[in-house]
Chains A and B, each alone.
Chain A
């Protein structure tokens, strides 16, 4: 069963935080610190879902989301934006770019994993939750 999650995040601490929480919950986490690498890894490893920061170096989150949507090998892997961008319109923009979900930073460490699972394709999510 696929329990790989890809996190595309350039801030080391944020990455560590999310990785810690998710791995504690039994997921396998693969990380990429920029959009390019993230896309490569996504294509290579076919994760269950992709957690995507918006503010990334070189290629911003919107572009990454759009490109990930283009590579439709990753058919069902939802893209979950995890970002501190809270200006009006940011949410809509990223959802329009192809993200399935949107989690605001700072994350709530108690509910973060549950929120992620919520966004996962239901079957596996259910398996995992139990």
Chain B
């Protein structure tokens, strides 16, 4: 509750002053009546209370009224003559005036201090305020008036100085209590609408009033001394009826108490007037103060509760409004809902929202309301223009952006027209809140309340916050709506782009960026990429290298460079790339893109790629064609200019239009001289040397050039020299087919013509010579015929075939050849030599070889196969010689011998040899195998018998030993036989390959002797060794030689019973001679020849005794023979034998 505003009830100040004055005077006069005997002291002075209240309510202007009232009252009092000591006179007027001043001042001071102390609140607002009113206003400032009053009375002589204290005291108390009683009463009733929260129960009021009156009657008139029993009534009034009630009851009590006191029946009568006054006033003071204080407290509490309630309500309303804001999706719905919440929950009467339009009229458009009927507000046409109609709070709020409160809309009829409507519906106060955002006022929220004091600063702040939230909500909704629209627009735009991009026939659009590592990445791609590159959009988006790999590798460096330039300079990127699609097709793709900074700060390229293959191909084709054309032109020009022919162009009328350089030089004219001149007279003479008319010829040519396509005529040089030219004439037609020009190309045939003349002359000479020659030839021919006959005779009589060849043709052959080859007489003559080759290949091969040899000059002797007439082949020995080695083909003579029989024989021989060799090989294999196979079992036999005999496997008894020995002997014999047989076989088969190594002969001989010595000693025969000192090394097969020595030694000892055996060796003619002499039985001469035969035994009986195989000597002989030596025997029957072996020191070549 603010400072009490100007009340529209009291219209103007003079009337107010008058009213105050009159009231004051009346009250003052009335109070004079109520004096307490015996001193006629006025116990209470209600006028003071009125004065204070008036100044509080009306302000300083009431002071004048107070003064006038006081003055008048005093004057009347003086005139009354109630105070006998007082005399009438002008002094009284002055005193009255001074008293009046004092009263006024007191009221002024009181009001001032009360205002100050109450800090803008109503003095009766709270208990505290009430006390302040009473104490400060009443008692405190109540001191001023008595001071002025008493002093002036004393000064006026109406009062003695000794009674100053008493008078001042009573005056003061009277004024104070008067203030106490009246001021609250007036203030409360003046402000009664604010206190209107209490339950006005009329009945209750009546009861209370009655009770009070009754009680007062009894207390103050019947003198029942329960004065303080009035306290409960006062408290009842205070609790139930608030300030008004309390002050009213208080006033009633005060009045009745004072009346009672003045009549003398009050319980407050004391011994002295002073006492009575004190009692009364103290009673009144206490009770009324209590009552007022209580009422004030109640008031305060009720105010607080009210405030709380209102706050609660407001907060709930705001909460609901905020909920509405959060869930709002539609602006109009939101605003309507807010208005509804404000009125329903907020408890206000009406609410509406209007937007400030920026049209001509600057109208305020109502957009939402609660409490009004539809169309009502719109009809009002509110405006916020700064004009007469827009001066109301709405206009002001919109213009200034500050809230406006109108506490009583009825008090300001020229406010918003809306207020009139609102008032019709019961609104009393109005609050206009601006809906402002970012410094701009969108509109207003106008709330009407049924109470006049609903919009205190707190409430206004809360509602301002609500208005701000609402504004925020509106802005957010609008923004969201805008965003939604923007998003929709964006989506549509994107869709359009995509459709566009996808439906481009030969292009696609793309957006790409470069990763930090330099690799490209596509941000988006239209579907055209599938058509052009054969790649799926998603694949390329995932991996840009799929696309990059399609680019021809040689273009990559240029591409990277261009990309880098575009990136660093942020310039457009354009390039034509040759790319291979996934299907393998090569295409030309033109790529254009433009870089820009994206919202994320990266650089992205927006671009289009177009298939320009067709265009490129067309370009290339065109270029190629242009090139060809240019080349062709160049070639033509070159040809024309550099030709070694005369190129001439002339018009049908005979004028020359062009002559090439060669022609110019040939004829001796320059281009300027000859062009334009008539052909006859410049290049062509009138007549040829032999008379032909050339002018008419030229005419004929120009009339019908087709007919004269080739034409030879005489021409003329500038010098007049005549030349012969062979012309080719061609028509050059224009577009319509008319003869435009004749193109003539000419070659100079002057020389040729001359040559032809020469030839003719020569031919003549030749004819003459030919005649002479013919004669001579005839003579020669007859000579030759004679020689021929001779030749023929030799030919026919030969015993072998003779043939004459020339150029591989049989010129002549004799009868013998014909017979050999199976042809009839004369069949071979004239035929190609091919005839006697079996096939083409051999013919060619033979020819090549033969003629090459013939060219060397030799006589070719060769055996080859030839074919007879019947196709059979036969072998010939051919001797061929060329007449002239330098040209063998020219003529050759051959002798042909039939060697068929010879060949056959040779063939048979060869086959026999092969068979023999094959047999030999088989034999070798057999021998090798047999030698191995035969020995293997013998190994066991000999071995184990040996072991047994040696007793290694256990002792043998003598019989076992004997029998084992026999087995051993036999097996040894068998081995010897096998060895010997193998040896013989080898020798017979020629398989015995002798080793050849150098070794010392002496140790070998000695070794053999040593081996044979035990046997010799056994027989008692001595062995002598006589080796010549020069005997050293020999190159032979050591083993075999030792075998031979052993054999001979063995034989020597075997066939000797007594005596000695002598071995001697000496060197003679590079041959070693080994002799073995024994003193044995010897041999008869007829036995000697068969000695070296296999299985020969001189005496079977003896041999059995001597354990030989009978092979020994034959083997020895064979071996020695193979070594290139010889073996001889000399023997005497009964004397002994000498075997002599002769060996070369080193074997010869043929061993």
Contact = CB atoms under 8 A, between A and B. Distances in A.
Interface stretch (B674-682, B929-937, B1020-1028, B1086-1094): B929-937
Interface string B980-1015: 001000000001111100000000000000000000
B924 to A, nearest CB: 8
A108 interface: yes
Interface string B826-864: 000000000000000000000000000000000000000
Contacts of B975: 106
A22 to B, nearest CB: 11
B993 A86 contact: no
Contact of B947 (A20, A85, A87, A89): A20
B419 to A, nearest CB: 129
A24 B939 contact: no
With most chain B CB atoms within 10 A of its CB, the pick from A55, A92, A109 is: A109
B946 interface: yes
A92 B935 CA distance: 20
Interface in B954-1002: 975, 982, 991-995
A13 B940 contact: yes
A110 interface: yes
Please report whether the interface of chain A is mostly helix, strand, loop or mixed according to DSSP. Answer: loop
A55 B946 CA distance: 24
Nearest to A84: B935
- Among A13, A85, A106, A110, which residue has the most Cβ atoms of chain B within 10 A? A106
Interface residues of A, number: 23
Given A86-B982, A88-B992, A88-B995, A17 B931 contact: no
Given A87-B928, A109-B946, A110-B950, A17 B935 contact: no
A70 interface: no
Contacts of B941: 106
Contacts of A84: 931-932, 935-936, 939
A2 interface: no
Nearest to B934: A84
B953 interface: yes
Most A Cβ at <10 Å: residue of B931, B942, B943: B943
Nearest to A83: B932
Contact of A108 (B931, B942, B994): B942
Given A86-B982, A88-B993, A106-B935, A17 B944 contact: yes
Interface string A10-23: 01011001101100
A105 B928 CA distance: 14
Contacts, number: 71
A105 B947 contact: no
Given A11-B936, A20-B952, A86 B946 contact: no
A82 to B, nearest CB: 9
A107 B950 contact: no
Interface string B186-210: 0000000000000000000000000
Residue from B942, B993, B995 whose CB has the most chain A CB atoms within 10 Å: B942
A107 B975 CA distance: 11
A86 B947 contact: no
Given A21-B952, A89-B993, A109 B940 contact: no
Given A84-B932, A106-B938, A24 B952 contact: yes
Given A105-B935, A105-B939, A17 B992 contact: no
Contacts of B992: 88
A117 to B, nearest CB: 16
Contact of B931 (A18, A86, A109): A86
B936 A105 contact: yes
B947 A109 contact: yes
Interface string B909-938: 000000000000000000110011001101
A87 B927 contact: yes
A14 B943 CA distance: 9
Nearest to A18: B943
Interface in A96-110: 105-110
A114 B452 CA distance: 155
Interface in B867-893: none
A94 to B, nearest CB: 14
A106 B952 contact: no
Contacts of B993: 88-89
Given A21-B952, A88-B993, A14 B940 contact: yes
Nearest to B983: A86
- Taking residues whose C-beta sits less than 8 angstroms from the other chain, chain B's interface range is 20 to 34
Contacts of B945: 109
Contacts of B940: 13-14, 17, 106
A21 B942 CA distance: 13
Contact of A109 (B927, B928, B942, B994): B942
Contacts of B982: 86
Contacts of A11: 936
Nearest to B935: A84
A55 B932 contact: yes
B939 A85 contact: no
Given A84-B931, A86-B931, A17 B947 contact: yes
B927 A21 contact: no
Nearest to A82: B939
B943 A109 contact: yes
B946 A110 contact: yes
A88 to B, nearest CB: 4
A86 B930 CA distance: 10
Contacts of A109: 942-947, 950
A24 B948 CA distance: 12
Interface in A3-52: 11, 13-14, 17-18, 20-21, 24
A93 to B, nearest CB: 12
Nearest to A90: B928
B953 A106 contact: no
Nearest to B968: A109
Given A14-B940, A21-B952, A105-B939, A85 B932 contact: yes
Nearest to B944: A17
A107 B952 contact: no
Contacts of B932: 55, 84-86
B939 A107 contact: yes
Contacts of A21: 943, 947, 952
Given A87-B928, A87-B931, A88-B993, A106 B947 contact: no
Contacts of A24: 952
Contacts of B953: 20
A88 B996 CA distance: 11
A18 B938 CA distance: 14
Contacts of B942: 106-109
B952 A86 contact: no
Nearest to B974: A106
A70 to B, nearest CB: 27
A99 B178 CA distance: 164
B1040 to A, nearest CB: 10
A86 B928 CA distance: 8
B979 to A, nearest CB: 8
B622 to A, nearest CB: 80
Nearest to A111: B946
A87 B992 CA distance: 9
A33 to B, nearest CB: 15
A38 to B, nearest CB: 19
19 contacts: A13-B940, A17-B939, A17-B944, A20-B952, A21-B952, A24-B952, A84-B931, A84-B932, A84-B939, A85-B931, A86-B982, A88-B992, A88-B995, A92-B995, A105-B935, A106-B942, A106-B975, A107-B942, A109-B944
Given A92-B995, A112-B943, 20 more contacts: A14-B936, A17-B940, A21-B947, A24-B952, A86-B935, A87-B928, A87-B931, A88-B993, A88-B994, A105-B938, A105-B939, A106-B975, A107-B943, A108-B942, A109-B942, A109-B945, A109-B946, A109-B950, A110-B946, A110-B950
A-B complex: 10 closest residue pairs judged by Cβ atoms: A109-B946, A106-B939, A84-B935, A17-B943, A88-B993, A13-B940, A106-B938, A105-B939, A106-B942, A84-B932
Interface of B: 927-928, 931-932, 935-936, 938-947, 950, 952-953, 975, 982, 991-995
